[in-house]
Structure 1
Amino acid sequence: MRHALRVLRAEALKQHRQIFGSKLVLFSMLVWPLLQLAEAYYMLHPLQGGDSGGPRLLAFLATGTLGFTFFFSLVQSSWHFSMERQSGTLELLFLSPANRLVVVIANGFGALVQNVWLFVSFSVAMFWWLGVVNVAHPGMYAVVFLALLVPAVAWGAFLNSLLIFSRDSAFVYTLLDDPMWFVSGVRLPTSALPELVRAAGSVLPLTGSLAIVRGALLDGQGVGDLAGELVTLTGLSATLLLAAVVALRVGEARAQRTGQLKLF
């Protein structure tokens, strides 16, 4: 455990120094999510038939933007992680005694915390201001937090593990930008989407996270009401972590055999 915590701290510190040291980056962590939220709100608000649905619509979009910020920050993290593959830093990590899975989890977790803390603070203040939060009991706040954090970390570990097979992860960024928010119900309820699109969205952890977050914060649902979604999301998160372990082992063995990593 001590070893894992040291790796986690080292990766977070490395990312902070390389990516998050600029004040402009700090500024963008709030501005870009806010622009996405404003764009979605003013695009959909005329369809509400006046101001009656304003606060509820804004809360729906804010939860979607919050969840998307959690998960897409891991997509950006894997994009930055590919630069370490290109420069040889990742190869050096694989020659170290650090556990492979801990490395990819630490990389994603460090990026997640530093990317979302500002928008999370803004979202909490906005929910309080709108007065639309309806929770069954205070313990549901912890459920909401874990429903965002755990699947996002598993998602990041899985994406980072894929880099062992390719030095270019630009396709991940392209594939999981607009398609992810569309099929996961970030701006539109999944019930309004075609069955084929809903089926595609069901394999993404963001879809389950948003269902739990909205059910707990906006609809007053408890753990019993969300039991099915919680079990499904837990299983999906475990599957992603298992897939990351398998990808790292298979990819490293293949790299050692073929010499694809620079230092092997």
Structure 2
Amino acid sequence: MRHAVKILRAEALKQHRQIFGSKLVILSMLVWPLLQLAETYYMLQPLAATPGIADRWPLAADPQRLLAFLATGALGFTFFFSLVQSAWHFSMERQTGTLELLFLSPANRLVMVVANGFGALVQNVWLFACFSAAMLTLLDVVHVAHPAMYAVVFLALLLPAVAWGAFLNSLLIFSRDSAFLYTLLDDPMWFASGVRLPTFALPGIVRAFGSVLPLTGSLAIVRGALLDGQGVGELAGELAALALLSAVLLLAAVVALRTGEAKAQHTGQLRLF
């Protein structure tokens, strides 16, 4: 346990020095989501005057609830996409030679990739607090069944994001073209996960793709708990599905790490695909 804590601390410090050490970067972490939120809100706001919109999407007819819907989507996307960026930077260590040193170390491989993703999340926790405080203060739309649901919401974002980060790290450190995966997980992720549009408005094939992304389940729980006042009992199905998906992602990360390292030992190259 102490060994794992040391790895977590070391990776978090490395993340801070490499990516988050600049004040300009920290400022952009807040400005960028706010700009994205404003852009999406004013793009969708005219829909509120569309005849029959309340029957198709009741939430869109209420400007405050629409803003809260988009704010939770922006929050979740920022959480998960920060891990895509973190994994992309992690993959660059293969080119600099740092990754080889890490694999020669006695560090547990799964703990190492989890720590790398968790380090990025630590840098973004303050963003969650800012968004939550703004929603609670400015918008009279947050209704929770019990104060403990705030902890459920936070864990529904944090734990799947950690599993997602571990899975991405295990893929990108063995990928020949990490830029391709980075692009693939940018726009498709926010589009298919219901970040800006409800999932019921998407085509069936897109909904099927989005169902295997943990961000989709996290947003369903966040919005259900904060905007619809649902409790743990009402969200039990979503929570169980998200827990199962997180476990599958961690298992897939273990398999990818073992397969990639075994091939690296055989060929001398950190390229699995």
TMscore range, shorter length: over 0.9
Q: C-alpha deviations, 1:126-174, integer Å up to 9, x for none?
A: 2112121110001111110110000000000000001342243111210
Gaps of 5+ in 1: none
User: Which residue of structure 2 lines up, in the alignment, with residue 221 of structure 1?
Assistant: 230
Aligned counterparts of 2:61 and 2:213: Cα–Cα separation in 1 = 32
CA distance in 2, matches of 1:70, 1:45: 25
Residue matched to 1:18: 18
Matched letter for residue 111 of structure 2: V
Query: Equivalent residues in 2 for 1:41-52 (5 A)?
Result: 41-49=41-49
Taking the aligned partners of 1:147 and 1:77, their CA distance within structure 2 comes to 20
Name the CA distance, whole Å, in 2 between partners of 1:67 and 1:6: 28
Percent identity for Structure 1 against Structure 2: 80
For the residues of structure 2 that align with 1:163 and 1:33, how far apart are their CA atoms? Answer: 25
CA contact (8 A) 1:70 1:148 kept: yes
1:52 Cα deviation (Å)?
A: 5.8
Match of 2:130 among 113, 119, 122: 122
1:57-101 per-position Cα deviation (integer Å, ceiling 9, x unaligned) = 000000000000011000000111111111011110010000000
Task: Give the residue type in structure 2 aligned to 1:189.
Answer: P
Alpha-carbon distance in 1 for matches of 2:188, 2:88: 17
Extract structure 1 runs of 4+ deviating beyond 4 A: none
2:219 to 210, 213, 217: 210
Superimposed CA distance per residue, residues 191-234 of structure 1 (whole angstroms, 9 cap, x where no aligned partner):
11111111110000000000000000000001110111011000
Q: 2:141 aligns with which of 132, 139, 145?
A: 132
**What amino acid is the match of 1:108?**
G
Letter in 1 for 2:237: G
Rounded to whole Å, the distance in 2 between the matches of 1:247 and 1:54 is: 45
| Contact 1:29-1:118 within 8 A present in 2 as well | no
Which residue identity does 1:7 align to in structure 2? Answer: I
2:185 matched residue in structure 1: 176
Q: Which moved more, 1:212-221 or 1:164-173?
A: 164-173
Aligned to 1:160: 169
CA root-mean-square deviation? 1.5
Structure 1 match to 2:36: 36
1:183-202 map, 5 Å: 183-202=192-211
- SS in structure 2 of the partner of residue 119 of structure 1: helix
Residues 30, 118 of structure 1: 8 Å contact kept: no
Please tell me whether the aligned partners of residues 76 and 219 of structure 2 are also in contact (alpha carbons under 8 angstroms).
yes
Distance 1:197 1:166 in 2: 25
Question: Which residue of structure 2 lines up, in the alignment, with residue 145 of structure 1?
Answer: 154
Q: Is the 8 A contact 1:133 1:218 kept in 2?
A: yes
Contact preservation (8 Å) 1:184, 1:206? yes
Corresponding position: 1:240 with 2:249: yes
Q: Is 1:98 equivalent to 2:107 in the alignment?
A: yes
Q: TM-score, normalised by structure 1?
A: 0.96
The superposition leaves residues 83-130 of structure 1 with CA deviations (integer Å, 9 ceiling, x where unpaired) of 11110111100100000000000000001121x234212211221121
Task: Determine the structure 1 residue equivalent to 2:267.
Answer: 258
CA contact (8 A) 1:81 1:160 kept: yes
The range that moved more, 251-260 or 41-50, is 41-50
Q: Given the alignment of the two structures, is residue 65 of structure 1 paired with residue 74 of structure 2, yes or no?
A: yes
Q: Where does residue 249 of structure 1 map in the other structure?
A: 258
Contact 2:86/2:116 (8 A) holds in 1 = yes
The answer on whether the counterparts of 1:85 and 1:167 sit within 8 Å (CA) in structure 2 is no
In terms of mean alpha carbon deviation, does 43-52 or 124-133 score higher? 43-52
